[in-house]
Structure 1
Amino acid sequence: MHVTFNRHGSGSARAAADYLVGELDAAGRVRPAVEVLRGNPDHGADVADSLSFGRGYTSGVIAWAPEDQPTDEQIGAVLDEFEKTAWAGLEPDRYAWTAILHREDGDGVHVHLLAARCDLAGRWPIRPGPWAGGLH
């Protein structure tokens, strides 16, 4: 399993969310499966796009090697731990995020993450995944 945070975050969160739930990948190929596992992509995008500071969202991906073939339960457990770590100490009503599963031909599976970079209680900036360092 590999967790990566992208440098994206200053453009349109709506465009990012639409891409993640879309049926076509970046090369224009039809995705075998797309499923929203956590959160609401529309809500997260709306929150991120409403923020007045520069980087309104964080995006990343959790990916498994094709031979890993994680079960739905294993994917759910990884997302549970990710959520507890990324927003340690915050109740779920204080952050907006989504996790979107993409299945690939050949048994590959990965989960895209998109999170608004604010605490919903006060709209002040937070950075999910600060351990990633740099601009991520």
Structure 2
Amino acid sequence: MIRINPVSGAGPLTQAMATAASGMSSQAVRMRVAAENIANAASTAAVPGGDPYRRKLLTFGRMVDRGTGAQLVRMDNIRPDPRDFRTQFDPAHPAADEQGYVKLPNVDPLIEQADLRSAGRSYEASIAVMQQARALYGKTLDILRA
């Protein structure tokens, strides 16, 4: 027996689809931020002694959709990673400070690639949930028609 949420009129399949859709949206943002971090892994400052690109971090939270009663994933914010920059001795570099050191971004491409893969797998899992919910909708309609 399918139970309908009396407040919203939404059933568990609608809630599952809403949750999966919010997960897909959140993972898409996560992939975009990881790709941006990878793209800027070698971006140094434009001026001598300046700061290079700073890695971006995402935080997620959850909320309840008032329309469906579904638990949703939401992005809280994108913030800079507070870790220190790496330094490299290269006095010929245009961004080198007075001592000849260049600040390099605090981005580790291997960590970003792992995060990108993890986000991709989570996105695919949300797609599978959506497909399963659609299939269950179809079967429910078939049963009701009979």
Q: TM-score, normalised by structure 1?
A: 0.25
Which structure shows the bigger proportion of residues in strand conformation? Answer: 1
The structure with more radius of gyration:
2
Which structure shows the bigger proportion of residues in helix conformation? Answer: 2
